[in-house]
Amino acid sequence: MKRSIIFLSICLFLNHAASAQLQKAKAHWTYTFSKPEVKKGETLDLVFTAIIDKDWYLYSSDFDPELGPMLTSFKFDKNNTFEVVGKLKSENPKTKFEEVWNGNVRYFEGKGVFKQTIKVLADNPVIKGTSEYQTCSHVTGLCVPGDDDFQFKGLKVVAGTVTNDPELALGANTPVSSSSVAANPADKLIDSSFTENAAESLPASKSRATINQSPSLEDPAAGKSLWGFALAAFLSGLVALLTPCVFPIIPMTVSFFTNQEKGKLKALIYGISIVLIYTLIGTVVSRLNGPAFANFLSTHWIPNLLFFAIFFVFGLSFLGLFEIVLPSGFVNKMDQKADQGGYAGVFFMAFTLVLVSFSCTGPIVGSLLVASAGGEVVKPIIGMASFSAAFAIPFTLFALFPQWLKSLPKSGGWLNTVKVVLGFLELALAMKFFSIADQVYHWRLLDREIYLGFWIVIFSLLGFYLLGKIRTPHDSPLEKVSVPRLLLTIITLTFVIYMIPGMWGAPLKALSGYLPPQSTMDFDLNKRTAGTVSTIVVGETRKYAKLFHLPHELEGFFDYKDALAYAKKVNKPVFIDFTGHGCVNCREMEARVWVDPSVQQRLRDDYVILALYVDDKTELPEASWYTSKYDNKVKKTIGAQNADLQIVKYNNNAQPHYCLIDHEGNLLVKPKSYDLNPAHFASFLDSGKAAFEKIVEF
């Protein structure tokens, strides 16, 4: 919670930043060799040891550099007396989830040790350079960057040379600098611990190497930064201002603040109160958040059907079937509090605004909270703060400048048009929530073509409404169509035409994240004319093959043990797709990346594909139940067991999440998540194949 407050408070953040400039990093370094003497051409380790002050910690070097914190790194002054071999290694750092970065970080307390292998090329090698690192306080949250010069002295180079060192032969295939990126994109993804462990195991046995089983620390929010989410939430707040419940509150706001003493100060408090009240909703939800709650909120039939019902009812209300109002007694009590004046009256005035407007903003707020559910605290708070800031700005301005009311357009037919358009959109969005429950529980009530049919009809009716061909109960006759209205009609009907081919199997990539999977279609022309279909597992017994299907007619497995057994049989690595029925990004990856011929060819020919649905509610026989070591809960369903596997073995609970593993389930390379670049994904697959082939060689 402290980090959330720091993140939200600009003043406190700047104060911390200024304080950091005045302090020194809380780590003290020593530099030693792993052995006192070497021969020319031989390797040894440079040992960097940090002694860290009490209540402080030092970030390690082996987690996602794009996450946010400064990783520890060492940059060497280049010369011809030595050569860097392999990547920088850190010894047994701890791991924790930091809310402010929205991801896992690795760090040291008390003492941190880093090792860098080098090859000695000359007598009296000159080994020096600079280090960069970051230390942070457990007590205050203050983080201080550090940069030191280092130099290694006293190494004795004895007579003789080494020309055939198996470790050097292995190291030749690794990147040449501990702080630089490999020239080959595939090499970039290969875990440096593979080289280290393989070299250690080589003298004893050449049958196989040991792969580092440390879980990937990839950012689960790749492509979905907090800044992007905050911007989307802010834009949602601007959209909420167009809802019909908001307009009548403006005169009430103006009348309240007209002739108020200290009016400008109270107006600012009014705006801040709106933000705080809305943000409190996000805070309460975030305190309930966690892997289990996020999974429940996003996939269980109860919340999804509840959201479906809310959107459906509000949609009918906006179309004019009935009017939704909060209980008058409750609203009147809040209004009476506001009439008392003073600063308490300002707060209750803000509370009245939130209550009255919530009948229109509720669905938007609900969508925002669903989108932010991921087990973190910061994201819902940031989202609600951004949403409410956009919502509060105009009301604060009207409170500051009540005279603006004279220039405001009068409510009328245009306001009802906005209301009806929102009604059509709410009916369309309601289908998404029903679809998630339908997929998770395998009801098969809303397959892809039925879903598309509803959307085509809804948006066609919206287009006719904008043209004035349809009128709702509260509409005035439309004598002429304005240019903006005509342009909106063109966009709407163009969208309808785009969707129509989807009824016969067109992929509709732009909507891939919002439609049911293409495998749910009964009639798919695209399927009948698709390219080569994989037959790699034809004849194999596959659990759950009737429940699940892979996209693009790929063949694979849906059970972890089955996939590993088959992979061992055919001597191929395993591609794990941790996915979900309600995962928008998963569908988008399948439609935009998996469809690429280069990616599809690699998946089909180089890997055994394993899709693990983490949100499926199919209950297993009682004999298959077990109690998780992670949360001590009994895992009864396919989804619960798959989610538990992802968390316990691969230290991640986000989807999509792609792991490349060997026959024992060990990671071959760093896992990958949401990335819409097919070239990056193909490179990722190539790196896993290369790592697996090295294992086979040994």
Where do the structural domains in the chain lie, given as residue ranges?
23-167, 226-408, 410-529, 531-697
Full strand arrangement of the beta sheet holding 82-90 = 27-33, 43-52, 111-120, 82-90
pLDDT at site 16? 41
Tens-digit pLDDT profile for residues 225-235: 677 777 877 88
- Is residue 591 helix, strand or coil? helix
Position 97, amino acid? F
What is the C-alpha to C-alpha distance for residues 409 and 425, in angstroms, rounded to an integer? Answer: 25
Q: For residue 207, what are the contacts with CB-CB under 8 A and spacing of at least 6?
A: 698
What is the C-alpha to C-alpha distance for residues 232 and 501, in angstroms, rounded to an integer? Answer: 30
pLDDT at 201 over 50: no
DSSP 69: S
Q: How far is CA 656 from CA 289, 378, 519, in A?
A: 19, 21, 18
Q: How far is CA 480 from CA 280, 466, 469, 476, 483, in A?
A: 45, 11, 11, 12, 10
pLDDT at site 335? 55
CA angle 165, 177, 149 (to 5 degrees): 115
Q: Which CATH superfamily is domain 531-697 in?
A: Glutaredoxin (3.40.30.10)
pLDDT at site 72? 93
**Which of 229, 219, 247, 189 minimizes the C-alpha distance to 369?**
229
Could you please report the per-residue DSSP string of 527-571?
Answer: HHT-SPPP-TTTT---TTTTT---GGG---BSSHHHHHHHHHHHT
- Architecture per CATH, 23-167: Sandwich (2.60)
Percentage of the chain beyond pLDDT 70 is 69
> 487: how many CB neighbours lie within 10 A of its CB?
11
- Is residue 612 helix, strand or coil? strand
Answer for the pair 581, 439: CB distance below 8 angstroms, yes or no. Answer: yes
- Is residue 74 helix, strand or coil? strand
DSSP 321: S
What rounded mean pLDDT belongs to the chain?
Answer: 75
Tens-digit pLDDT profile for residues 556-571: 999 999 999 999 999 9
The pairing of strands 103-109 and 94-98 is antiparallel
pLDDT at 318 over 70: yes
What is the C-alpha to C-alpha distance for residues 233 and 311, in angstroms, rounded to an integer? Answer: 18
Q: How far is CA 153 from CA 74, 157, 161, 179, 422, in A?
A: 16, 12, 21, 21, 72
Tens-digit pLDDT profile for residues 379-395: 677 877 887 788 778 77
Q: For residue 409, what are the contacts with CB-CB under 8 A and spacing of at least 6?
A: none
Position 100, amino acid? V
What is the C-alpha to C-alpha distance for residues 542 and 559, in angstroms, rounded to an integer? Answer: 8
pLDDT at site 202? 34
Cis bond leading into 166, ω under 30°? no
pLDDT at site 598? 92
**Which of 409, 419, 412, 430 minimizes the C-alpha distance to 472?**
419
pLDDT at 195 over 80: no
What is the C-alpha to C-alpha distance for residues 99 and 78, in angstroms, rounded to an integer? Answer: 38
What is the C-alpha to C-alpha distance for residues 113 and 365, in angstroms, rounded to an integer? Answer: 47
Percentage of the chain beyond pLDDT 90 is 24
Residues in the chain: 698
Answer for the pair 635, 625: CB distance below 8 angstroms, yes or no. Answer: yes
The pairing of strands 111-120 and 43-52 is antiparallel
The label of the residue with tokens 């905050």 reads: 230
Tens-digit pLDDT profile for residues 504-530: 888 887 786 678 887 788 777 766 444
Instruction: Average the pLDDT over each of 61-75, 287-301, 447-461, 632-646 and give the range with the smallest value.
Output: 287-301
How many Cα atoms within 13 Å fall on the side-chain side of residue 355?
Answer: 18
**Which of 564, 554, 637, 633 minimizes the C-alpha distance to 597?**
554
**Residue 625: both structure tokens together:** 């139940």
What is the C-alpha to C-alpha distance for residues 609 and 279, in angstroms, rounded to an integer? Answer: 42
Greater confidence (394 vs 130) lies with 130
Tens-digit pLDDT profile for residues 590-604: 888 998 999 999 999
Answer for the pair 159, 39: CB distance below 8 angstroms, yes or no. Answer: yes
